Amino acid sequence: MWYNNILETIGNTPLVRLNDITKGVKGTILVKVETTNPGNSIKDRMAVKMIEDAEKAGLLKPGGTIIEGTSGNTGMGLAIAAVIKGYKCIFTTTDKQSKEKIDALRAFGAQVIVCPTNVDPEDPRSYYSVSSRLEREIPNSWKANQYDNLSNTQAHYEQTGPEIWEQTEGRITHLVAGVGTGGTISGAGRYLKEKNPNIQVWGIDSYGSVFKKYKETGIFDKEEIYPYSTEGIGEDFLPKNVDFDVIDLFEKVTDKDAALMTREIARREGIFAGNSAGAAVAGLLQLRERLDENSVVVIILHDHGSRYMGKMYNEDWLRERGFLKDEKLTAQAILKK
């Protein structure tokens, strides 16, 4: 038995119960470990779906160039698919992203342009603007546009949602996921709510992002926006892939809690995951009073820890931010809050 190429190995990721971090929390807490995808993140799923839909629509033609503004994980998925399908890739990213992620994209032959983080999306230097300009200038190029391309949500509606439903034999009561483009939570959440409208869908947001306030008030509040270190979740605009009707609530998690919880997932559960995984687990612990003995929670762990060796898995990085002195206390502190 073999696969015809690496893209066929995407998906069917394991669902694993948390046992130690969640002591004292009611219900069954499961994590969907997306690190086993070839690009080590959930984003492989939507990357391939966006490319295939663009091919079908005639937007991406043989030998073409794929362009995207990406924090790394989507780029990995696109870059791997491009190798197999014979496309070139140019990515724009921000200087907030880990060096490991950028080097990994280059490993697959992609060109990466690093842009400043703290400029408005409309600024010509932003990674959004630079990627749009490249699409205009390069012939036979296609911008994937993961934020507004609804093939992203559709990938999770077709794959991630059904996998979770089958793996829990329909017993899932809560879906918890960090929200960036919104594709994961909107697609998987929509599928699961169609199966059982009582399923709660909880989005994890960052301090410094607009989602939570927008959900609660309908107001896009620029005052909410400020720089933060958590990677992959939260935004300073409203992507089309965030379906606010599917998401029941947003919970914000601090950079410190997200970073320290990411480490605890490795140390206490043996699962080596990325920054947004820590945010999602910390967010669920913050919301634990809403669970009961019958709750079956599925938390998405979006990516692998190897991309964060220079960040929360590095003690100097933690010390510089004053995060280290509170380590070991994170889960207990959140449980006491």
* Residue ranges binding ligand PMP (CB under 6 A): 43, 71, 73, 178-185, 231-233, 274, 276, 302-303
Q: How far is the CB of 4 from ligand PMP (least distance, A)?
A: 27
**Is residue 61 annotated as a catalytic residue, yes or no?**
no
Q: How far is 18 from 21, CA to CA, in rounded Å? A: 7
User: Which residue lies nearer to ligand PMP by CB, 161 or 183?
Assistant: 183
Residue 111 token pair: 């060109």
Residue 291 sits at the vertex; the CA angle it makes with 334 and 186, to the nearest 5 degrees, is 90
Q: How far is 127 from 119, CA to CA, in rounded Å? A: 9
Strands of 296-301's sheet in order across: 15-17, 28-33, 296-301, 174-178, 200-206, 249-253
User: Which residue lies nearer to ligand PMP by CB, 64 or 143?
Assistant: 143
The residue whose Cβ lies closest to ligand PMP is 232
Q: How far is the CB of 14 from ligand PMP (least distance, A)?
A: 18
Q: How far is the CB of 72 from ligand PMP (least distance, A)?
A: 7
Residue 235 token pair: 């935004």
Q: Which of 23, 32, 43, 61 is catalytic?
A: 43
Would you say 214 and 243 are in contact if contact means Cβ atoms under 8 Å apart?
A: no
62-101 residues labelled b (16+ CB within 10 A) or e (exposed): eebbbbbbbbbbbbbbbbbbbbebebbbbbbbbeebbeeb
User: Which residue lies nearer to ligand PMP by CB, 180 or 283?
Assistant: 180
Residue 100 token pair: 């490991």
Give first-to-last CA distance, the chain, whole Å: 51
Would you say 70 and 303 are in contact if contact means Cβ atoms under 8 Å apart?
A: no
User: Which residue lies nearer to ligand PMP by CB, 71 or 145?
Assistant: 71
Q: How far is the CB of 317 from ligand PMP (least distance, A)?
A: 17
User: Which residue lies nearer to ligand PMP by CB, 213 or 240?
Assistant: 240
Q: How far is the CB of 214 from ligand PMP (least distance, A)?
A: 15
Residue 318 sits at the vertex; the CA angle it makes with 316 and 321, to the nearest 5 degrees, is 110
Q: Which among 109, 53, 45, 113 is positioned nearest to 77, based on CA atoms?
A: 45
Residues catalogued as catalytic? 43
